[in-house]
Amino acid sequence: MINGNHLSLVLLSTNQCNAACDYCFEDKTRDRLSLERLQLIIGKVLDHMDAHGIGALTINWQGGEAMLLPPSWYREAFDWISVAAAQRGKRVEHGLQTNLLAYTAEWDGLIAEMFGNSISTSLDYPNLHRKVPGHNPEHYDALWARKLEMARAAGIDVKVISVLNQGTLEIGAERFYEHLVDELCITDFQINTPFPGGGDNATKQSLALDAAELARFHCELADLWLERGQQLGVSIGPFDQLMNYFMGRPFSLPCIWGKNCADELIAIDARGNVAQCDCWVTSYPGHVFGNIIECDSLSQLLWNSSARQQFSERPIRLVQSDCIQCDYMALCHGGCPIRTYSVSQSLFEKDPYCDLYTSLFRHMERRGIEVARDLAAAR
C-alpha cells in the first residue's frame, strides 16, 4: 500500500499534446480534466492520505502537454486544492513538466505562485525526435529556444530533462555539455536514457544505444561536470545525487533507482485512469490499476489492483536472481519497470541499462573517494 509520510502524484491535466515526438511513449487523446473531475480526483487522493496518515503530497503536473490548459484553469485548480488540503491538514507542493511550446507571459504569475517560479522542460541535443506536427526538429528547437528565453526573461528558473540518442553519443560529452551549459546557460538538468515505450514505430525500434558507448558518455559527462560545473553551481542528474550518496551527504536518487516505486508514486491521467507512472497510464491499459472517477476509494483501488501488485512484487522477484550479487543493489534495486517492460515485455527482468548503471556507479564511487581525499588534503 502507498502509505508513509509522502505521496507523489503525477497528474496528467490533459492527454493531448501540441508536439508529435517520434519516441513519445504516451497514447495521446483529446481528454482534458474538468475542474469538477479534478476536485473528485483530489478529494479521493486526500481521502487516501487521511486513511494512511500521509501528511504531504507532491503533484507533478504533466500531459500530454500540461500548458494546453490555460493558466486560469490552473489558478482555480491551485486555489481549490490549497483549500481542500489545508482543511485536512495536508501539505501540497506542485511541479510542472512542460514542453514550453505554449508558454506565454500569461503564465508568469501562476508559475511564480503555484510552482515556486520554477518549471521543468525537455531538450534533446541533438534533437532527432522532438517535433511540432508538420515540422522538423530544427523548427521545434527554434520555437523552444524562444520560449526558454521568454521564460528566463520573466525570471523563471527552467530545469531541463534531456533524453540521450545516438547523435548525442556521436557528438560526445564535451559538445553536449558545452551546448547545454555554456551556450544555453542551463544550470540544472537531468539526462535520461531512451526506451521504446507505448505503441511501436520505426524510431522506437532504433532507440537502443550501445551500452559501452553510453557508459563512456555518462562517465565523461560526469567528469566534465565535476571539473567545470559543480563548483559553479551546475547540477546534472543523476551525477549530483550519486556524488552526494558516495560522499555521505543527503541524497535523492531518481525514481528509476527507487527501492520500490510502487510504494512511492502513482499517475492519474485526464480520463481518471490510475497507473504506476506517466510512462504507463495512457499507453498500457493492461497495467492500469483502475479508474479513480469510477471507484469509491483510491485506497481500495490500489489495494485490489492485481496490476499494482505486480509492480510491488518486482524488486522482491529480482532480488532472488542475480541482483543480490551486485555491489550496487542498494542504489538500483533492479532499475526501472518501464525500461524493462518496453524491451523485454516482462516486469520481472532487471533493467536493460544494468551495465550502464553499474559502470556509472563504480565511476562515481571512485570520483567520490577522490574528491573526499582532495578535500581532506586541502585542509
Partner 1 sequence: MSAIVYQIPLAQLEAFRGLAAVVRSERPIDLVAELSSEDIGNLAYVQLCGLPSDTDVLVHWAEGLPVELLLDQPEQKFPSLYRYTKLQDNHPVRIAIPVEPGFEKAVKLASSLQFAVKLEIGQPEPALIASLARVLDGYLHKSTVTQPIEFFHSVLLGYCRDEPIDLWAIQEEDPALIRTIDEEGRECLPGRLSSLVPGPAPDEFVADWSTGLSAAGAECTECPFFSACRSYFKWPDRDYDCAGVKALLTTLKQAAEALRADLAAAASSLGATP
Binding site for partner 1 (CB under 8 A): 1, 3-5, 52-53, 245-246, 248, 259-260, 263, 315-317, 319-320, 324, 327-331, 333, 365, 368, 376, 379
Closer CB to partner 1, residue 271 or residue 367?
367
d(CA 125, CA 104) in angstroms, rounded, equals 24
AA letter at 378: A
Closer CB to partner 1, residue 204 or residue 363?
363
Please report how close the Cβ of residue 70 comes to partner 1 at its closest, in angstroms.
38
Q: How far is CA 121 from CA 101, 145, 289, in A?
A: 10, 11, 28
Please report how close the Cβ of residue 218 comes to partner 1 at its closest, in angstroms.
19
Please report how close the Cβ of residue 246 comes to partner 1 at its closest, in angstroms.
5
Closer CB to partner 1, residue 50 or residue 227?
50
Q: Which of 263, 253, 176, 262 is nearest to 220 (CA)?
A: 176
Please report how close the Cβ of residue 55 comes to partner 1 at its closest, in angstroms.
9
Please report how close the Cβ of residue 330 comes to partner 1 at its closest, in angstroms.
4
- For cell 534533437, the residue is 127
> Crossing angle, helix 71-87 and helix 35-51, to 10 degrees?
30
- For cell 497495467, the residue is 287
In a 13 Å sphere around the CA of 110, the CA atoms on its Cβ side amount to 20
Buried b or exposed e, range 230-260, using 16+ CB within 10 angstroms:
beeebbbbbbbbbbbbbbeeeeebeebbbee
Closer CB to partner 1, residue 237 or residue 315?
315
Closer CB to partner 1, residue 4 or residue 199?
4
**Element spanning 157, H or E:** strand 157-163
Closer CB to partner 1, residue 89 or residue 248?
248
Closer CB to partner 1, residue 232 or residue 324?
324
Q: Where are the alpha helices (DSSP H) in 19-136?
A: 35-51, 71-87, 108-114
Please report how close the Cβ of residue 81 comes to partner 1 at its closest, in angstroms.
23
Q: Which of 126, 123, 133, 196 is nearest to 160 (CA)?
A: 123
**Element spanning 370, H or E:** helix 354-378
Closer CB to partner 1, residue 115 or residue 289?
289
Please report how close the Cβ of residue 221 comes to partner 1 at its closest, in angstroms.
21
d(CA 225, CA 231) in angstroms, rounded, equals 9
Please report how close the Cβ of residue 157 comes to partner 1 at its closest, in angstroms.
29
Q: Which of 282, 288, 265 is nearest to 336 (CA)?
A: 265
Q: Are 35 and 81 in contact (CB under 8 A)?
A: no
